[in-house]
Structure 1
Amino acid sequence: MATGLRIGWALVNKQSVVSSAMIVALGSLAAVAALNWPPLTLLIDSALHWSNISIGLSQMALIGCAAGSCVMITSVASTRSPAAVRRMAAAQYAVAAVIGVASLVLFFLSGQQPEMSPEEYLRRNLGSANTSLPWLLPLLYVMLACTLVLWAGMRHSNRTRRGRALFVFTIGIALLVAATAFFLIRAVGTSRLVGVGTAATLLGAAMAIVAAGSLLPAIEDWFGGRRELRLIDPLLTELERRQPEVGIGERPRGPLVFRVAERLSLISDALYMEATMAEHLRAGGPDGATVDVLADVERTGVSPDAQAMAIAKWIHAGRRTPRVALPAGQGRFPGMSWLGQPESYSDREWILEIARQYRALEQSTPTVAL
């Protein structure tokens, strides 16, 4: 599911190094899970005429997961140019490809064994003198790469939506590092410390948590988008009534995140048009009509909440007054400079804050029928 979501996101949006790396990482984990499903394991072994070949392919898939995760985290943390990031990613993929091919060659050189389940194969071969070398190379790479991902992931985790997803993803990587360490202990011959079942359980838990971390942004985006649509609906409805031309060319359907962004853009455009009309009527409109407009009141020291409330009150004051000619707000327009967001707010956050204040006014003021 996580892999399919990432592939779909990459097809809808512009492809990037980070999205490609996430697809590689999740797809490799999905391949590990599929290759260790007994019916598919037996089918692949029979089709390729090499018993237990799915184990060798699983090694390559784990290497691919480590490489994709490493490319993803280094690309996110890098401050270099996009061209440099792509070259760095290509170099990491090249190293992983060399290690993967070498691991597969060592697997074939170790010879064939009787067909058995993946767990039984690991129990019999990890730690034996003649099969430890094919495991040391891929396990060392996976452990080192995932350790780098773990360090960088913990460093860049934060309280934002993406930061929380990265934290969950990093927890999965931590379990993957632990499972790899357990397999590595078995490979070097210290089998009394941990069993294959424990390491396999950790690996399964790691795969599930990594997938959850990858799905978390999409889940939060969906719920957050629905909540934001409800929040901005009253303000957008009022502004579209005043400025009906602002909705021309609006796309009513599409990905939720795009719909929210489009509606926020419509609100921003409509607010600017309303403010421009209010400025035009400051000195007097047609037939000598005037509008109660404040002349760019100084907003130094005004909190962002109060600034957003002033804009919301200006829009809210004229919502029940029919206007035939010019759709300027009927309240006290504080001035064009008040529309600009405070330094601590992005454009998106500022429109949402105005919509939040307007919704609060709508809920606290009873509707008067005309």
Structure 2
Amino acid sequence: MIVWVIAGLLGMATGLRIGWALVNKQSVVSSAMIVALGSLALVAALNWPPLTLLIDSILHWSNISIGLSQVALVWCAAGSCVMITSVASTRSPAVIRRIAVAQYAVAGAISVATLVLFFLSGQQPEMSPQEYLRRNLGSANTSLPWLLPLLYVMLAFTLVLWAGMRHSNRTRRGRALFVFTVGIALLVAATAFFLIRAVGTSHLVGVGTAATLLGAAMAIVAAGSLLPAVEDWFGGRRELRLIDPLLTELERRQPDVGIGERPRGPLIFRVAERLSLISDALYLEATMAEHLAAAKPERARVEVLTDADRAAVSPDAQALAIATWIHAGRRTPRVARPAGQGQFPGMGWLGQPESYSDREWILEIARQYRTLESQAAPR
């Protein structure tokens, strides 16, 4: 049951990566993640005894699932290595693709050699994967077939571990990379345990300990891969609630900005589209307010703040000034004022401060507007 839970998590992570690759332009990193997660899910599935027996029966070779697990682990290491080296590389996309092809070619050669050595070692009576490892790993008959893939896997995962720790940070993607790297660290430890068994020092570690460590590593790798999707979903729902009052008011004033809006689609795309609508509507409102202030100042009743005023305030105060301007012209049962009413900050105030991205700046304005809405709501 635990094996299938781990395989299910890894399969879900692989499916999300495939869906992301279908929605966005396919890249070396996306392909590598699909290869790594799919291969690791295959390792977990092949160690479920009923599936192991089924595959052995279909292929007419006892314990062939063990050999296929070795190959899948090799390709998991290759995909992880391609992913991390592509992310860390500053070379051109063409060079990155050539390096990825070279890494896959090496993994393919090692996979073929692994299967050849596995078949040359001969057949044994049918047994469970853990029993097979306990009886054979470390014996003279199986050391060579295991040494080749394990050495490659340990080398590749060590590189992934080093690069992953180097590029982990506090951002959403950086946190996910850190969790993924922790799982890779456990994979390195599990591979080292199996390697110790393969060279004959079996008294240092048991197969059960290494298998348990491998299962924990798979679960953590799956969690690290799913973490961005989970955070994107919860963060997207929270951001939709945050921007809804400001977007509703601006769409009432500028209904044309919503033409062509897609009502459905991936959540992060819907959030980005609504932020874009808010940005366009704010620009149109500012343009109308400037024209009104220049043509008929007695009707506009605005007080334009200068760029010098903007330099003297904090980003929070700048966002609050924009939110206050929009809020002053809102339509409620008690208030009905034209657009541009109140203290218009000026077109220059719409630009985000240097410490904010476009997305963060619109969210900050929406946050200030929501606060004003809450304060003005009848109690």
1:13, distance to aligned residue in structure 2 (A): 2.1
1:289, distance to aligned residue in structure 2 (A): 2.9
Matched letter for residue 44 of structure 1: I
Is 1:261 the counterpart of 2:251? The answer is no
Q: Residues 300 and 340 of structure 2 are in contact (CA less than 8 Å); yes or no, is this contact kept in structure 1?
A: no
Q: What residue number does 1:302 align with?
A: 313
Show the 5 A alignment for 1:52-63.
Answer: 52-63=63-74
Q: What residue number does 1:67 align with?
A: 78
Q: What residue number does 1:149 align with?
A: 160
Runs of 5+ in structure 2 lacking a partner?
A: 1-11
Secondary structure, counterpart of 1:332 in structure 2: coil
Is 1:29 the counterpart of 2:40? The answer is yes
Q: Residues 281 and 291 of structure 1 are in contact (CA less than 8 Å); yes or no, is this contact kept in structure 2?
A: no
Q: Residues 300 and 341 of structure 2 are in contact (CA less than 8 Å); yes or no, is this contact kept in structure 1?
A: no
Q: Residues 17 and 33 of structure 2 are in contact (CA less than 8 Å); yes or no, is this contact kept in structure 1?
A: yes
1:94, distance to aligned residue in structure 2 (A): 0.9
Give RMSD over aligned pairs: 1.5
Is 1:104 the counterpart of 2:133? The answer is no
1:82 to 65, 68, 93: 93
Is 1:290 the counterpart of 2:300? The answer is yes
Counterparts of 2:307 and 2:147 in 1: how far apart (Å)?
71
2:248 to 229, 233, 237: 237
Matched letter for residue 231 of structure 1: L
1:12, distance to aligned residue in structure 2 (A): 2.1
Counterparts of 2:353 and 2:23 in 1: how far apart (Å)?
33
1:80, distance to aligned residue in structure 2 (A): 1.4
Number of matched residues? Answer: 364
Counterparts of 1:291 and 1:263 in 2: how far apart (Å)?
30
Matched letter for residue 269 of structure 1: D
Superposition misfits of 4+ residues, deviation over 6 angstroms: none
Higher mean alpha-carbon deviation, 335-344 vs 299-308, is at: 299-308
Q: Residues 302 and 340 of structure 2 are in contact (CA less than 8 Å); yes or no, is this contact kept in structure 1?
A: no
Q: 1:109 to 1:186 in 2, by over 3 A?
A: same
Secondary structure, counterpart of 1:129 in structure 2: coil
1:367, distance to aligned residue in structure 2 (A): 5.1
Show the 5 A alignment for 1:39-50.
Answer: 39-50=50-61
Counterparts of 2:360 and 2:99 in 1: how far apart (Å)?
34
Please list the CA deviations of residues 195-238 of structure 1 after superposition, one character each: whole Å capped at 9, or x if unmatched. 00000000011111101111110001000000000000010011
Please list the CA deviations of residues 57-98 of structure 1 after superposition, one character each: whole Å capped at 9, or x if unmatched. 000000010011111111111111111111111111111111
Secondary structure, counterpart of 2:203 in structure 1: coil
The alignment's TM-score, normalised by the length of structure 1, stands at 0.95
Matched letter for residue 130 of structure 1: N
Q: What residue number does 1:341 align with?
A: 352
1:11 to 7, 18, 22: 22
Is 1:114 the counterpart of 2:138? The answer is no
Higher mean alpha-carbon deviation, 11-20 vs 117-126, is at: 11-20
Is 1:274 the counterpart of 2:285? The answer is yes
1:174, distance to aligned residue in structure 2 (A): 0.6
Secondary structure, counterpart of 1:294 in structure 2: coil
1:46, distance to aligned residue in structure 2 (A): 1.2
1:295, distance to aligned residue in structure 2 (A): 5.1
Q: Residues 29 and 61 of structure 1 are in contact (CA less than 8 Å); yes or no, is this contact kept in structure 2?
A: yes
Is 1:218 the counterpart of 2:202? The answer is no
Counterparts of 2:300 and 2:321 in 1: how far apart (Å)?
20
Q: What residue number does 2:369 align with?
A: 358
Matched letter for residue 290 of structure 1: A
Secondary structure, counterpart of 2:58 in structure 1: helix
Q: What percentage of aligned pairs have identical amino acids?
A: 86
Matched letter for residue 296 of structure 1: T
Higher mean alpha-carbon deviation, 254-263 vs 181-190, is at: 254-263
Secondary structure, counterpart of 1:281 in structure 2: helix
Counterparts of 2:377 and 2:142 in 1: how far apart (Å)?
78
Counterparts of 1:280 and 1:183 in 2: how far apart (Å)?
74
Matched letter for residue 266 of structure 2: P
Counterparts of 2:340 and 2:180 in 1: how far apart (Å)?
48
Is 1:197 the counterpart of 2:208? The answer is yes
Q: What residue number does 2:8 align with?
A: none
Q: What residue number does 2:191 align with?
A: 180
Counterparts of 1:292 and 1:113 in 2: how far apart (Å)?
88
Q: 1:248 to 1:367 in 2, by over 3 A?
A: farther
The alignment's TM-score, normalised by the length of structure 2, stands at 0.93
1:284, distance to aligned residue in structure 2 (A): 2.2
